[in-house]
Amino acid sequence: MAQQPSTSTDADHAPSVDELTPPDRTLMGPGPSDVNPRVLRAMSTPLIGHLDPSFVEIMNEVQELLRYTFRTDNQWTIPVSGTGSAAMEAAIGNVIEPGETMLVPTNGYFGGRMASMARRAGGDVVEVDAPWGEPLDPADVSDALAEHDPDVFGFVHAETSTGVLQPDVPELTAAAHDHDTLVIADTVTSLGGVELRVDDWDIDVAYSGPQKCLSCPPGASPLTLSDEAMEKVLSREEAPRSWYLDLSLLEGYWGDERAYHHTAPITNVYAIREALRLVAEEGIEERWARHERVAGALKAGMEGLGLEMNAPDEYWLPSLNAVRVPEGVDDGEVCDALLERYDLEVAGGLGDLAGDIFRIGCMGHSARPKNVIYVVTALGDVLESMGADVDPGAGVSAARNTLEE
């Protein structure tokens, strides 16, 4: 742990901590994204109790808005009281029973996290391989299903660590269902930004985070389960290993009974309600189109600078753009310089792609033309100052032209 002043326990010497004045960042990394001022304002609303009849109404509204955004009729659609990883563990920890097998992908950071959570739930893990930076091949998934006959198959719809969109989702879910395998989809970086149709695509369970394409501060995270998946959860032989994330207990609170389980994060529920209202006002399909349009300009800007996208166009992920780091440039130095000179957050690569890519988000309220122009300008300037072979003027022109198309 970081060292702290040794006076901290002396009651006569209370710590003196200044007013909160964080820097004014522009958030174009892998999340969080910039938050719409309406959502921030909603968070300064005074609290009501988590069992107040008025809060129950708010819960209903949030569920309805979440269903709209997930494109599902699933009754069991809630915000989990924690950040995206809590929703992820709620999904895996409730669906997987000890001794069951989960098939997970190896083509990015979050497949590894799925494996870790499945093991902690008492499950066995088998893998379907693809290189980092590529999607799963449906043929490989079919082979793995045939070989391992897993109880659950998890995949990542939008891989935040590689900037890859998984195509062919209906093909994957159909293959899984042929083996009576339930499908859990990680939609952390797709929900509200990239086409996602939980019902039409026959996804059994999907979880997400609020701080990506929903542009909502983290703390209450979307989760949806089909009736069939929920039936499996409710008929478990052994209780899930987390009390906090036990969906059979949460059913008492979010279901008809409205019984106390734990205190909901009231302000985070206010926030996601407002963030989802913005989705509904824009319209979900128009929102997907906006992300594609604005991120398309970002991509054009990057290519105009002379940089290369890591993913081929077929599985380009508009919400998270993986851009190759030019030869001889240190990605960490670039990110630091962008933060220092431009108050701009973008990120480097992780795992197998560490040092190889920049990860530039284009999500929710951050997916605006002005942010695109800003990031292309700033990155062009910083890379040029480091001696990279880039053309800042051409980058900005390409982005602007694409925006004006």
For residue 138, the minimal CB distance to its own copies (Å) is: 26
Q: Which is nearer to its own copies, 265 or 369 (CB)?
A: 265
For residue 394, the minimal CB distance to its own copies (Å) is: 29
For residue 98, the minimal CB distance to its own copies (Å) is: 10
Q: Which residues contact 216 (CB under 8 A, 6 or more apart)?
A: 35, 39, 210, 271, 272, 274, 275, 364
- For 392, phi then psi, to 5°, come to -55, -40
Of 72-80, 151-159, 307-315, 320-328, which part binds its own copies (CB under 8 A)?
72-80
Q: Which residues contact 177 (CB under 8 A, 6 or more apart)?
A: 183, 202
367: left (phi over 0), alpha (psi -120 to 50) or beta: beta
Q: How far apart are CA 70 and CA 197, in angstroms?
A: 6
Which segments of 116-270 are extended strands (E)?
124-128, 152-156, 158-159, 164-165, 182-186, 205-207, 221-225
Within positions 74 to 93, which residues make up the interface with its own copies, using CB under 8 A?
A: 75-76, 81-86, 88-89, 93
Q: Which is nearer to its own copies, 29 or 296 (CB)?
A: 29
> Contact letters (x/-) for its own copies, 166-205, by CB under 8 A?
---------------------------------x------
Element (H, E) at 323: strand 320-324
- For 145, phi then psi, to 5°, come to -65, -45
Q: Which is nearer to its own copies, 117 or 372 (CB)?
A: 117
Q: How far apart are CA 280 and CA 278, in angstroms?
A: 5
Q: Which residues contact 217 (CB under 8 A, 6 or more apart)?
A: 32, 35, 39, 43, 210, 211, 268, 271
For residue 23, the minimal CB distance to its own copies (Å) is: 5
> Contact letters (x/-) for its own copies, 37-66, by CB under 8 A?
---xxxxxxxxxxx-xxxx--x-xx-xxx-
For residue 365, the minimal CB distance to its own copies (Å) is: 10
Within positions 232 to 261, which residues make up the interface with its own copies, using CB under 8 A?
A: 239-245, 251, 254-256, 261
Q: Which is nearer to its own copies, 142 or 190 (CB)?
A: 190
Q: Which is nearer to its own copies, 141 or 322 (CB)?
A: 322
Within positions 293 to 352, which residues make up the interface with its own copies, using CB under 8 A?
A: 339, 345
For residue 261, the minimal CB distance to its own copies (Å) is: 8
Within positions 96 to 155, which residues make up the interface with its own copies, using CB under 8 A?
A: 113, 116-117, 120-121
For residue 110, the minimal CB distance to its own copies (Å) is: 11
- Contact status: 72 vs its own copies (CB under 8 A): yes
Number of residues forming the site for its own copies (CB under 8 A): 104
Q: Contacts for 312-315 with beta carbons within 8 Å, 24 or more apart?
A: 314/167, 315/134, 315/135, 315/164, 315/165, 315/166, 315/167
> Contact letters (x/-) for its own copies, 218-237, by CB under 8 A?
xx------------------
Joined together, the tokens standing for residue 329 give 């440039």
Interface residue with its own copies among 103, 176, 206, 264 (CB under 8 A) is 264
Q: Which is nearer to its own copies, 196 or 399 (CB)?
A: 196
For residue 32, the minimal CB distance to its own copies (Å) is: 5
Q: Which is nearer to its own copies, 101 or 267 (CB)?
A: 267
The string over 347-377, giving b where at least 16 C-beta atoms fall within 10 Å of a residue's C-beta and e elsewhere, is: bbbbeebeebbbbbbbbbbbbebebbbbbbb
Compute the residue count for the chain.
405
For residue 335, the minimal CB distance to its own copies (Å) is: 10
Q: How far apart are CA 27 and CA 377, in angstroms?
A: 15
Which segments of 164-281 are extended strands (E)?
164-165, 182-186, 205-207, 221-225
Interface residue with its own copies among 143, 149, 180, 262 (CB under 8 A) is 262
Contact 346, 338 (CB under 8 A): yes
Within positions 348 to 387, which residues make up the interface with its own copies, using CB under 8 A?
A: none
Q: Which is nearer to its own copies, 83 or 319 (CB)?
A: 83
The tokens 């920890």 sit on which residue?
Answer: 93
Q: Which is nearer to its own copies, 154 or 304 (CB)?
A: 154
Contact 357, 310 (CB under 8 A): yes
Contact 207, 70 (CB under 8 A): no
Within positions 3 to 22, which residues make up the interface with its own copies, using CB under 8 A?
A: 4-6, 8-9, 11, 14-17, 20, 22
- State how beta strands 158-159 and 152-156 pair: unpaired
